[in-house]
Chain A
Amino acid sequence: MTNLLEIKALCVNVDGQDILHDLDLTIPNGEVHTLLGPNGSGKTTLMMTIIGYPEYRVTNGQILFDGKDITTLDITERARLGIGISQQRPPTISGVKLKQVLDFIIANARQPVPDINELARAYKIEPFLDRDINAGLSGGEIKSSELFQLLIARPRFVMMDEPDSGVDLEAINIVGQMMNEIFARHHTIRTKERRTGLIITHTGNILDYIHADKAHLILDGYIGYTGNPHILLDQIREHGYGECARCELWRCR
Chain B
Amino acid sequence: MENSTDLRQAADIDLNQFTTVPDTHRGVLVSPDQLEPGDAEVMAGVGVHVENEDRSGTYILQDFNPLCVPVQTKGLELLPIAVALKKYDWLRKKYCFKAVNADLDKYTLQCASAADPQGYFVHVKKGVKVPFPVQACLYIAQSGIAQTIHNIVILEEDSELQLITGCASRTGVGSAAHLGISEHFIGPKARFTNTMIHSWNPDVEVRSRSGTIVDAGGTFISNYISLRPSKSIQTNPRTWLNGEGASLKYLTIILGFGGSTIDTGGDVYLNGKNSSAELAHRAVCTGGRIYQRGLLTGNTPGCRAHIDCAGMVLDAGEDGFIEAVPGLKALHPDARMSHEASIGRIAPEQVAYLQSRGMSEREAISLLIRGFLDLDIEGLSPELDARIAEIADLAGHGEGI
In the bound complex, what is the Cα–Cα distance between A87 and B349 (angstroms)?
12
Assess the B353–A90 pair: CB atoms within 8 A: yes
A76 CB contact (under 8 Å) in B349, B361, B373: B361
Known A-B contacts A79-B357, A80-B358; A91 and B347 likewise in contact (beta carbons under 8 Å): yes
In the assembled complex, B372 has its CB within 8 A of some CB on chain A = yes
Q: How far is the CB of A22 from chain B (nearest CB, A)?
A: 26
In the assembled complex, A93 has its CB within 8 A of some CB on chain B = yes
Binds A, one of B61-69, B182-190, B235-243, B363-371: B363-371
Interface residues of B in 248-291 (CB under 8 A from A): none
Assess the A101–B354 pair: CB atoms within 8 A: yes
In the bound complex, residues from chain A placing their C-beta under 8 Å from that of B96 are: none
Q: How far is the CB of A34 from chain B (nearest CB, A)?
A: 21
In the bound complex, residues from chain A placing their C-beta under 8 Å from that of B374 are: 95
Interface residues of B in 360-395 (CB under 8 A from A): 360-361, 363, 367-368, 370-374
In the bound complex, residues from chain B placing their C-beta under 8 Å from that of A105 are: 357-358
In the bound complex, what is the Cα–Cα distance between A84 and B347 (angstroms)?
21
Q: How far is the CB of A49 from chain B (nearest CB, A)?
A: 13
In the bound complex, residues from chain B placing their C-beta under 8 Å from that of A188 are: none
Interface centre among B352, B363, B373, B374 (most CB of A within 10 A): B352
Q: How far is the CB of A17 from chain B (nearest CB, A)?
A: 19
In the bound complex, what is the Cα–Cα distance between A96 and B359 (angstroms)?
13
In the assembled complex, A51 has its CB within 8 A of some CB on chain B = yes
In the assembled complex, B355 has its CB within 8 A of some CB on chain A = yes
Known A-B contacts A95-B372, A95-B374; A79 and B367 likewise in contact (beta carbons under 8 Å): no
Q: How far is the CB of A154 from chain B (nearest CB, A)?
A: 12
Interface residues of B in 70-108 (CB under 8 A from A): none
Chain A's interface size range is 20 to 34
Assess the A96–B347 pair: CB atoms within 8 A: no
Assess the A104–B358 pair: CB atoms within 8 A: yes
Q: How far is the CB of B76 from chain A (nearest CB, A)?
A: 36
Q: CB-CB contacts of A83-124 with B at 8 A, as 1s and 0s? A: 011010011011110001100110010000000000000000
- Complex: chain B residue closest to A96, CB-CB: B371
- Complex: chain A residue closest to B347, CB-CB: A91
Assess the A96–B354 pair: CB atoms within 8 A: yes
In the assembled complex, B356 has its CB within 8 A of some CB on chain A = yes
In the bound complex, what is the Cα–Cα distance between A93 and B361 (angstroms)?
15
In the bound complex, residues from chain B placing their C-beta under 8 Å from that of A51 are: 356
Interface centre among A54, A76, A108, A153 (most CB of B within 10 A): A76
In the assembled complex, A74 has its CB within 8 A of some CB on chain B = yes
- Complex: chain A residue closest to B357, CB-CB: A101
Assess the A79–B358 pair: CB atoms within 8 A: yes
In the bound complex, residues from chain B placing their C-beta under 8 Å from that of A75 are: 352, 355-356
In the assembled complex, A149 has its CB within 8 A of some CB on chain B = yes
- Complex: chain B residue closest to A104, CB-CB: B359
In the assembled complex, B17 has its CB within 8 A of some CB on chain A = no
In the bound complex, what is the Cα–Cα distance between A94 and B372 (angstroms)?
8
In the assembled complex, B113 has its CB within 8 A of some CB on chain A = no
In the assembled complex, A209 has its CB within 8 A of some CB on chain B = no
In the bound complex, residues from chain A placing their C-beta under 8 Å from that of B372 are: 95
The 8 A-B pairs of least Cβ separation, nearest first, read A95-B371, A75-B355, A96-B371, A79-B358, A76-B355, A91-B349, A93-B350, A76-B360
Give 9 CB contacts A-B under 8 Å: A76-B361, A84-B357, A93-B350, A93-B354, A93-B368, A95-B373, A96-B370, A96-B371, A101-B357
